[in-house]
Amino acid sequence: MSQNPQNIQSVLNETRSFVPSLKATSSVPDMATYEALCAEAVRDEQGFWARLGRENLDWHKPFTQTLDESNAPFYRWYGDGLLNASYNCLDRHVLAGRGDVTAIISESDSGVVTRVTYAELLARVCQMANVLKSLGVQKSDRVIIYMPMSIEGIVAMQACARIGATHSVVFGGFSAKAIHERVIDAGAVLIITADAQTRGGKQLGLKLVVDEALALGGCDTVRHVLVNQRTEQGCDMVVGRDLALEPLLAQQSTDCVPEWVDAEHPLFVLYTSGSTGTPKGVQHSTGGYLMWATQTMKWSFDITAQDVFWCTADIGWITGHTYVCYGPLSCGATQLVFEGIPTYPDASRFWQMIERHRCSIFYTAPTAIRSLIKAADMDEQVHPKKYDLSSLRILGTVGEPINPEAWMWYHKQVGGERCPIMDTFWQTETGGHVITPLPAATPLTPGSCTLPLPGIQAAIVDETGEDVENGQGGLLVIKRPWPSMIRTIWNNPERFKAGYYPEELGGRYYLAGDGAVRHSDTTYFQIMGRIDDVLNVSGHRLGTMEIESALVAHPMVAEAAVVGKPDEVSGEAICAFVVLKSAIPEGEAAVKLANELREWVKHEIGPIAKPKDIRFGDNLPKTRSGKIMRRLLRSIAKDEAITQDTSTLENPAILDQLRTSVV
């Protein structure tokens, strides 16, 4: 498990409790209501989910079946209902007379602010949908989106949803190889991209990465690349294949009848890292997913028409899907979208933007908070107390455990001790929040995501699937299906079944892949980190295998093993142990090679996968049967004394070498 055991102990001993003072406007006002909802979900599971399905969404044809378990774990929800996600996010608000409400306030890296209303956004989505149709994109086709955090990116996603095409967004920081893998696995017919994105004052080419990806070959399914022109930089265009987006949009009508799809129709496939080799395409449905995106906006964030909601996640991650593209729009809310980075022009950018746009709900990652704490400690001018943050009423965090000190700072310095913090635990696979406090109801403990949402039967079990007692660590599972859960892994149903519904647990519980423990008194959940070989670096999921494969693809590398080590800012940092084909270089030459390997990994996967530490060794610590002993590598990475039994080790001398060779 990736978290430091000492941290876990200190969090479990955490006795501070913050009783909510917020008055909920639209959601759950107190714990009694929360408990009544949980009881309803157990007493009448189908009735409960059917009610939420009807309350949260507009159906073109209402569903009559709620949950179909006949082919478990391939569950079906609202199976005979017909709907359209983009209709629910746009048309229904315009038809209800709310077309003039601001849907998105977008701020560019350089500070240019653009606003669109729901009526304008609907018109733009329709034009984009018509462009897609004019290029022959049909229902069920897959479309890759490689775009910056922008209105255009959201329009592209919504337009796919409107015509029933399944989108697969690739994070703008991922490499050509990552795009290539996803294009092939998804069998994409079209790629939507931009010439470049601007972040931190720098223009980073996107289209040229797509060109590189397609040049790797085998992407015959791709007919066109649509290019949104965002900068003066421009880009090369391949005649016949590449098309400038803006002139095509201008020719299209602002009306487009939505394609009504089954509730189970795949809205999107989002690739994420697992414990083995290639990233897996997590497939989500339309009905169940959108229901939960909408419901959790109400429950976890108490969203109202008066709020200005800001989720800082990129659309390339699940958080940007559920809490930027779909949840806020489905609720008819006003949200802020930001293309830049928190530290440009300086580390007060977030606080300035909250002040400027009177943001009331702010949702970000612990890693961002930790880096802004550091910056504020060093420079008073970027401290949140210098800014008027009085518009805030609710704060949120996501992606990794938040340490109690960072929680306290967020609470005091950003929230003015007034705003409850929603520590939302969830995953790409869960579609939306699963364990999280409710802003007006749940007493908060720093560092704990508290209790499951109503309907989520989260539990902690041992390796055989038996419940463990509170206070005992174990595997986090969800015992009953829920509407927004992963449906399958694209192209790989066996991997879905084996990975998430393993035989060892009787094949009946969803296995989250995290270790957790429940507090003996409060029964609150404490997440202890991944139990598999998945790292969490700045809230981003990366498989150790992916990074290892990238390293061994370098001509000088014979073998590599990657582990995580705790890091003050990024939560976890990547530490790579590398065996070279030739002799280990020394001094400057070693530093040079280490940097070359970092650049190599950046090129193979993306900058977020660059190893922080690299250690060269003549070999890796292995058992006599040749298995790499990763727990020893984890101790070395942390500079800890090795207390584990090393008697099964084939080559004990290697430990000393690896210990001293950090570059």
Residues near ligand WTA, by CB under 6 A: 272, 317-319, 398-401, 423-428, 449, 512-514, 527, 530, 536, 541
CB of 427 to ligand WTA, least distance (A): 4
What angle, 0 to 180 degrees and rounded to 10, lies between the N-to-C axes of helices 544-552 and 587-604? 120
Which tokens in the block code for residue 204? 């980073």
Which tokens in the block code for residue 328? 């806020």
Q: Which of 530, 539, 404, 510 lies closest to 452, judged by CA?
A: 510
C-beta closer to ligand WTA: residue 228 or 427:
427
C-beta closer to ligand WTA: residue 84 or 442:
442
CB of 410 to ligand WTA, least distance (A): 13
**What residue type is assigned to position 387 of the chain?**
Y
What residues contact 492, with CB distance under 8 A and at least 6 apart?
280, 281
CB of 385 to ligand WTA, least distance (A): 26
Residue 125 CA to residue 132 CA, distance in Å, equals 10
C-beta closer to ligand WTA: residue 205 or 274:
274
Residue count of the chain, please give it.
663
C-beta closer to ligand WTA: residue 306 or 523:
523
What residues contact 524, with CB distance under 8 A and at least 6 apart?
445, 448, 449, 450, 451, 518
3 state SS of 579? strand
CB of 498 to ligand WTA, least distance (A): 18
**What residue type is assigned to position 207 of the chain?**
K
Residue 147 CA to residue 162 CA, distance in Å, equals 18
C-beta closer to ligand WTA: residue 120 or 423:
423
CB of 414 to ligand WTA, least distance (A): 17
Which tokens in the block code for residue 10? 């200190």
CB of 168 to ligand WTA, least distance (A): 15
Secondary-structure percent of the chain, ordered helix, strand, coil, rounded to 5? 35, 25, 40
Q: Which of 277, 309, 306 lies closest to 296, judged by CA?
A: 309
CA dihedral 439, 442, 443, 446 (to 10 degrees): -70
CB of 312 to ligand WTA, least distance (A): 13
CB of 13 to ligand WTA, least distance (A): 18
What angle, 0 to 180 degrees and rounded to 10, lies between the N-to-C axes of helices 45-56 and 31-43? 120
Give the H or E element holding residue 377.
helix 366-378
Tell me whether the omega of the peptide bond preceding residue 483 falls within 30 degrees of 0, making it cis.
Answer: no
CB of 654 to ligand WTA, least distance (A): 30
* Position of minimal CB gap to ligand WTA: 428
Residue 95 CA to residue 92 CA, distance in Å, equals 5
CB of 351 to ligand WTA, least distance (A): 23
C-beta closer to ligand WTA: residue 82 or 438:
438
C-beta closer to ligand WTA: residue 185 or 314:
314
> Taking phi first (over 0 means left), then psi (-120 to 50 degrees means alpha), and beta for anything else, what does residue 141 get?
beta
C-beta closer to ligand WTA: residue 193 or 424:
424
CB 486 within 8 A of CB 56: no
Can you give 408-453 as a three-state secondary structure string?
HHHHHHHCCCCCCEEEEECCHHHCCCCECCCCCCCCECCCCCECEC
C-beta closer to ligand WTA: residue 262 or 423:
423
C-beta closer to ligand WTA: residue 406 or 527:
527
